[in-house]
Amino acid sequence: MRFAVAVEVHLREGVADPQGATIERSLPYLGFEGVSGVRVGKLIRFTIDGDDEASVRREVEELCHRFLANPVIEDTTVRIEELVR
């Protein structure tokens, strides 16, 4: 089976995000009011082969922990979707 994976890497809560803060500060100048809590992250997409979603999820979580994110400052959200062939 083949799965489509989307890993969102985001800064952990409480970790300062100067990029997000800069974007947020600039929005009122463009006329966008009331926007708050801007946080900037990364989206990493790939496909992966595996027996079932549970085992693929375990593998992706390990991949995230060891490589895609730095656990000191980042968290990940993983979305997995089976690809129909």
Partner 1 sequence: MTTVGVVLFPGSNCEMDVIEAVRGLGAGAEILWHGDRSVGDVDAVILPGGFAHGDYLRPGAIARFSPIMAAVEKFARDGGPVVGICNGFQVLTEAGLLPGALQKNRGLKFLCTTVEVRVETTDSVLTTVADEGQVLRIPINHFEGNYTCSPGVLAELRASDRVVLRYVDNPNGSVDDIAGICNETRNVVGLMPHPERASNPLLGSDDGLVLLRSLLVAASSMA
Residues near partner 1 (CB under 8 A): 15-16, 18-19, 22, 67-68, 70, 72-73
The smaller minimum CB distance to partner 1, of residues 16 and 30, is found at 16
Half-sphere exposure of 36 (CA within 13 A, CB side): 1
As measured in angstroms, the least distance from the Cβ of 5 to partner 1 is: 16
Amino acid in position 20: G
As measured in angstroms, the least distance from the Cβ of 84 to partner 1 is: 30
Nearest by Cα to 79 from 37, 46, 38, 52: 46
The smaller minimum CB distance to partner 1, of residues 18 and 37, is found at 18
Structure tokens at 13: 């809560």
As measured in angstroms, the least distance from the Cβ of 14 to partner 1 is: 10
In angstroms and rounded to an integer, the radius of gyration of the C-alpha atoms of the chain is: 16
Q: What are phi and psi of 29, to 5 degrees?
A: -65, -25
The smaller minimum CB distance to partner 1, of residues 70 and 77, is found at 70
